Amino acid sequence: MILYLDTSSLVKLYVDEVFSDLVKGWVAEAESVATCRVAYPETLSAFNRRLRCGDLSDKDYGRLVKSFSNEWEAFVSVDFDELDAGRLVAKHGLRGFDAIHLSAAGIVRSAREGVAIVFPPSTKN
């Protein structure tokens, strides 16, 4: 099984949030974990936002950035089709980055025929 994580789920691997244990369990069971390449700057932005809000110390922020950056290569990082993402926005009323992630997951699905791709239930706080 390929587990596809959007940014909000990916952050839960590094920051203790509601559903973090659940996401970590799914990752442990997955054959591989895929995400869109936009998740790299989005995740760093999420860490930075927590630093600015005072939820993370400078030391914890540095540790998270280093850990995530070092582990990025372990994820299957895929591109997206901007035209497909635009169609998904129009068809389903999605937010932009949700459509981007859904488009990227579609690319994974088409590249790995016969392999199950699983999206975790919404883990947004």
Sorted by where each starts, the structural domains of the chain and their CATH numbers stand as: 2-118 (3.40.50.1010)
Mean model confidence pLDDT for the chain? 91
The sign of the dihedral angle between the CA atoms of 84, 87, 88, 89 is: positive
Look at residue 122 in the predicted model and tell me its pLDDT: 60
pLDDT at 59 over 70: yes
- Nearest CA among 112, 83, 104 for reference residue 38: 104
Task: State the amino acid at position 114 in one-letter form.
Answer: G
Strands 2-4 and 32-36, bridge-based pairing: parallel
pLDDT at 123 over 60: no
Mean pLDDT of the 34-38 span: 96
Look at residue 91 in the predicted model and tell me its pLDDT: 96
Q: What is the pTM of this model?
A: 0.86
Alpha helices in the chain (DSSP H): 7-11, 20-29, 39-53, 58-71, 82-92, 96-111
Look at residue 1 in the predicted model and tell me its pLDDT: 81
Look at residue 58 in the predicted model and tell me its pLDDT: 97
